[in-house]
Amino acid sequence: MLKPILRENLDVLFVGFNPHPYSLERGRYYAHGSLWRIMRKADLGEIYDDSQLLDHNYGITDLVQNRPTREAKEISDADYARAVVRFRRTLARLAPRITCFTGKGVYRHFAGLKANVTIEYGLQAEEFDRTKLYVVPFPSHKWMTDAEKVEHYRGLRVLLKRTVAPTARND
């Protein structure tokens, strides 16, 4: 299991589906680097791996933490359901300003939405407890260009600027 990078009052908590075996083997979230590359291009910080997240008051975890798979579809609905209960408790306790789901599917599981419900990227209408919910593309999607992904991540940057007092951040 990858150790979640968490603390109270994060500006952004990034949430993925579950660990990929490659990341688990290397002991780093998104060890292939795609998330960090997209974040740098979107001006979310000069971040090259997860060890730098707390420097920006960001954190990261996976919805399902103890099931490394190559594809998220390998995880059962029961595993997701248990993970959501645990994760909701974590969110309520930590109160991040923004929870950013790295993929529509991970948000779908968190929100309990059926497959036929359309999810748009960006800020979601509802909040959870005291946190805004935001959805960005999975950073490794092959059917979307980096430029398209970056635009969605830049929306997170805009929301972050509106949500967090400038004196509270190290820009």
Distance CA 32, CA 136 (A): 18
Q: Is the dihedral of CA 29, 156, 149, 127 positive or negative?
A: positive
Query: pLDDT of 108-136, one tens digit each?
Result: 999 999 999 999 999 999 989 989 999 99
Q: What share of the chain is helix, strand, coil (3-state, %, to 5)?
A: 40, 15, 40
Q: What is the pLDDT of residue 67?
A: 65
Q: What is the pLDDT of residue 60?
A: 97
Q: What is the pLDDT of residue 167?
A: 45
The ranges of the chain with pLDDT < 50 are 167-169, 171
Query: pLDDT of 75-96, one tens digit each?
Result: 888 899 999 999 999 999 999 9
133 by DSSP, 3-state: which?
A: strand
Q: What is the pLDDT of residue 21?
A: 67
* Structural domains in the chain, sorted by start: 12-48+72-160 (3.40.470.10)
Q: What is the CA radius of gyration of the chain?
A: 15
Nearest to 2 by CA among 64, 79, 45: 64
